Amino acid sequence: MCSSCVPQLTDIEQDFILTLTDRYPRPVFSPQGPSLRELCVQALSSVQRGYDLLAPKFDHTPFRTPDGVLDETVRVLSEVGPFGSGLDVCCGTGAGLMVLRRLCHDGITGVDFSAGMLARARSAYPDATLVRADARALPFTGDFDLAVTLGALGHFLPTERPGLFEGVHRALRPGGILALPLGAPPPLTSVAHWAMLGFDLTMLVRNTIVRPPFVMYYCTMSLPAVRRDLTEAGFAVEEIALTALGRHRDGGPRYWLLLARKPIDRD
Ligand SMILES: C[S@@+](CC[C@H](N)C(=O)[O-])C[C@H]1O[C@@H](n2cnc3c(N)ncnc32)[C@H](O)[C@@H]1O
């Protein structure tokens, strides 16, 4: 076919496809993944129960952090490390454990409140210590040199983030780092922006009328808000644009990596 015969995509169509393939390189529905009915049942459960149900099929969904994000996180952190012990907060089936395994030489730990997700992580990472706990009340003090949290921030209300970050701060040794990849919001004129807003509004309505709530919001975790909460928890925060993972149509990076360092006490 001659190039002039190839149908040209509009900017909006290109942006939509780019956003979906960058943010979610796997399709929502596949032969190994959950059915629409299963996803609906999960979304009508609590977060914990929803992930228990999704666990056997989670690695075949787009919700597991994509390999590109994991690789870029390892690339940046390998220039900062090496590290001793590592903690994956909200580890799920273990995407962050894969990052920690490549960077930490003194053992890796994953924490999650879903027993189903932890069971999958246990079979994939038999060398890891796995702890069932709520990340809003992390049961660690000064045990880790590196913490990561991937793909889970949307499950915390903005009012819960300070408690989450204070717990991670407490879990780290002085000088320790929390690494947090964050999708940058798409431009206001993009289809992706309106799709995310529509998703959040749907969840808001769902959580107003159905108990228990399923907390998952995209628009609450802007870079300035997350940076402020990290700073208030006591971290010194650095932002790194992961430009290898692409740019939005307005030129901004699609992903940031926040490196939040717990200061070393000097008294
Ligand atoms: C989208 S999955 C991400 C899993 C993994 N980090 C990844 O990137 O593929 C979110 C995970 O966060 C966990 N989670 C959500 N809220 C939590 C909480 N308050 N305490 C512990 N785990 C939580 C869920 O059980 C689930 O395993």
Residue in 47, 70, 215 to alter for ligand 1 test, most ligand atoms within 8 A of Cβ: 47
Q: Is the CB of residue 176 less than 8 Å from the CB of residue 266?
A: no
User: For residue 11, how many other CB atoms are within 10 A of its CB?
Assistant: 11
pTM recorded for the entire structure: 0.90
HSE toward the beta carbon, residue 52, CA cutoff 13 A: 10
Beta bridge partners of 255: 183
- Measured from the CB, is residue 113 less than 6 Å from ligand 1? yes
Side chain identity at residue 49, one-letter code? R
Domains, the chain, with CATH or none: 19-25+66-183+221-261 (3.40.50.150)
Beta bridge partners of 183: 255
Residue 7 is inside which H or E element, if any?
Answer: none
CA 5 – ligand 1 centroid, Å: 46
What string of pLDDT tens digits covers the 267 residues of the chain? 333 433 454 454 444 444 444 455 566 667 788 988 999 999 899 999 999 999 999 999 989 999 999 999 999 999 998 999 999 999 999 999 999 999 999 999 999 999 999 999 999 999 999 999 999 999 999 999 999 999 999 999 999 999 999 999 999 999 999 999 999 988 888 888 999 999 999 999 999 999 999 999 999 999 999 999 999 999 999 999 999 999 998 899 999 999 999 999 765
- Measured from the CB, is residue 112 less than 6 Å from ligand 1? yes
CA 3 – ligand 1 centroid, Å: 45
In ligand 1, the atom with minimum distance to the C-alpha of 96 is 6
In ligand 1, the atom with minimum distance to the C-alpha of 149 is 6
